[in-house]
Amino acid sequence: MNLTYYSKNKLLQTFKHWDVSKEFAEPFYNYLVFGYTPGSCFTSVLANDFGSAILRSHPSNTVNAFKALVGWMLDTMPKEAYGSYENVAKWTELNPDQRRTILENTGLVFTSKEEVIKILKDEPSVEPHLY
C-alpha cells in the first residue's frame, strides 16, 4: 500500500499519543500497512496471548512498554487486526486495498482523495518523533 507522508504521519502520531517506543511502533506500523508479521513476541501480543509474548520477549522490554502498546492497541487498532491468532493471520492475508479501506474507515490514514488535496494545498506535515 502506498501512503503519502500525510497518512504515515497520521498513523505514527497515534503511537506518540500512547508513548509507544519506536522499537514497538515500527513493527506494528509495518503490520497494519503492509501486512508483515511483527515477530513472535508481538504476534502473541496481537493474539492476546501474553504468556507466550513474555516468554518470547527481549529481556530489555519492560512492563510499562507493553502497557503503552496494549493501550494503543485497544484505543487505536482496527478490531479486525488483533484479538486472536486467527485474526492476525487474516490481517496478513488481506490485500493492500482491503487493509487500506479498513485503516481509512477507522481514521488511521487519510483517504486517497484527502491525500491528494493535502498534496495540492502543500499542507505541512511533520513526522512525530518516537523515542
pLDDT digit string, tens, across residues 27-43: 999 999 999 999 999 99
Residue 130 lies in a domain: no
Kindly report the pTM of this predicted structure: 0.93
Residue 126 lies in a domain: no
* Cα 81 to Cα 90: distance, rounded to the nearest angstrom: 8
Residue 117 lies in a domain: yes
Sequence letter at residue 23: E
Overall number of domains in the chain: 1
pLDDT digit string, tens, across residues 65-89: 999 999 999 999 999 999 999 999 9
Residue 131 lies in a domain: no
- CB neighbour list of residue 111: distance below 8 Å, 6 or more residues apart: 104
Residue 51 lies in a domain: yes
pLDDT digit string, tens, across residues 90-125: 999 999 999 999 999 999 999 999 999 999 999 999
Domain that holds residue 46: 5-121
